[in-house]
Amino acid sequence: MDESIMSQEDVFASHPNVIAPTCEGSAFQKKAHSIRTLSAEEAEKLARDQTLISDFKQSKLEKEAQKNWDLFYKRNSANFFKDRHWTTREFEELKACCEKNPSYNIERCKVFQCDLTKDELLENIPADSVDVVLLIFVLSAIHPDKMHLVLQNIYKVLKPGKCVLFRDYGLYDHSMLRFKSGSKLGDNFYVRQDGTRSYFFTHEFLSQLFMAEGYEQVVNEYVLRETVNRKEGLCVPRIFLQSKFRKPLSKP
């Protein structure tokens, strides 16, 4: 499967640099418009880690991105995801879209594989026909230089007035701070030991990315959580960026 349709979620502690959330509920979560303040130790660690992986290796990782994600899902299979029910809690549009649409029928859903950075969605989906698009732990797996191609592709099939629902890793998330020296590909962009990559978003970067492609910003905020890793006896800060961007009713 192609990296651009891979959904990165929180994984078990056995997967490098990612910690699985076990605390659910509003008591452990809050929303904010600014990133958290790093401790002196965390700031020093990031300041020291300025060496980037060579251009040759970065090119190799880009070419092998699909293979690395295919191997990841082959290893983890269905154990990778757990249904934590937060999608319908955080994005009410999803529940309404499914339950209120008389045409909703799982037997009629069209499933297809594509690389959102190069395969035209219009080959499978009519223009201006989609009510809601989910980009949930997807965009972070894509090279920053290609992210705009994904948004352009989606824009063509999204109905005017409808939204892209986004959630992904935020800057200074604990999984970012766990990367060891030699894992950095660029600003806020890292590679795991298995060759899969992850970008960590600021709300400013995401806003500029969407608005440059003609979207309107509806919501764009950080979700701050405390996550318990029982295996390591840790309670660590998780930071995600959760947003909604709308296709204007009239093209700008």
Give the pLDDT score at 106: 67
Give the pLDDT score at 212: 97
Six token digits for residue 28 = 């452990």
| Residue 94: closest CA among 162, 27, 156 | 162
Model confidence, pTM:
0.77
DSSP state letter for 51: P
Q: Half-sphere exposure (CA, 13 Å, Cβ side) for 115?
A: 14
Q: Where are the alpha helices (DSSP H) in the chain?
A: 40-48, 55-63, 65-76, 86-90, 92-100, 147-157, 174-177, 203-211
- Angle (CA) 60 46 43, round 5°: 165
pLDDT above 70 for 189:
yes
> Lowest mean pLDDT: which of 107-111, 124-128, 170-174?
107-111
User: Where does the pLDDT of residue 75 fall: very low under 50, low under 70, confident under 90, or very high at 90 and above?
Assistant: confident
Q: How many CB atoms lie within 10 A of CB 207?
A: 16
Q: What is the tens place of the pLDDT at every residue in 195-243?
A: 889 999 999 999 999 999 999 999 999 999 887 777 777 778 889 999 9
**Average pLDDT, whole number, for the chain?**
81
> Lowest mean pLDDT: which of 8-22, 183-197, 203-217, 232-246?
8-22
More confident residue, 68 or 88: 68
| Residue 239: closest CA among 140, 167, 143 | 167
Kindly tell me the sign of the dihedral angle through the C-alpha atoms of 114, 117, 154, 82: positive
Give the pLDDT score at 99: 59
